[in-house]
Homo-oligomer: A and B are copies of this chain.
């Protein structure tokens, strides 16, 4: 049974807000929050500022929607890699390889949108992205802690550092092959640190 929405009164929108968020996501991912102006967004959407603000409230609120969308559609599904039936080191190594692949998948929108956003000049954006970042880190830490509690913090830190490095290098234009080689080396370090 599909949700039956009654049509709202008033003049209908000329654009689809969900598609608009997708377009904005591409822009933000490509150039970063600070470098994308409201004028860039409205131009890309073919609308004028008042329509933009009526629909999204502010640039910051739109970015929050973009982050939510990224978490659902663009980010790495951690639970697919961090499974109880997978050896810890193997799961983490596979996660790093997947990161390399995703960060270089779209040559325009490189790196991790969340990781890059934690370094915006806008404090609100940093904090919003920080929540996603911390949640992901905690998921990794808990996955390790289930079988190697002593090593959880240290190895989760290493995974985070590796992913931040991969994201940064992807944004510097590094090729998928070289990114993957670095990810594999980091994976080897984890296998060595967690024998068995």
| Chain A residues packing against B (C-beta within 8 Å) | 31-32, 34-35, 115, 118-119, 121, 133, 153-155, 157-158, 160-169, 171-172, 174, 178-179, 181-182, 185-186, 188-189, 192-193
Cβ-defined contact, B158 with A169, below 8 A: no
In the complex, the chain B residue whose C-beta lies closest to that of A187 is: B189
Cβ-defined contact, B35 with A168, below 8 A: no
Determine the chain B residues whose CB is within 8 A of the CB of A186 once the complex forms.
158, 161, 186, 189
A172 in contact with B118 given A182-B158, A185-B158 (CB within 8 Å)? yes
Cβ-defined contact, A188 with B192, below 8 A: yes
CB-defined A-B contacts under 8 Å, sample of 23:
A34-B34, A119-B171, A133-B172, A153-B178, A154-B178, A154-B181, A157-B169, A157-B174, A157-B181, A158-B182, A160-B169, A161-B165, A161-B166, A161-B169, A164-B165, A164-B172, A165-B165, A165-B168, A168-B168, A185-B193, A186-B186, A188-B193, A192-B192
Cβ-defined contact, B182 with A157, below 8 A: yes
Question: Pick the contact of A161 from B35, B115, B182, B192 — CB < 8 Å?
Answer: B182
Question: Pick the contact of A162 from B153, B161, B179, B188 — CB < 8 Å?
Answer: B161
Docked complex Cα distance between A178 and B163 (Å): 15
Cβ-defined contact, B157 with A164, below 8 A: no
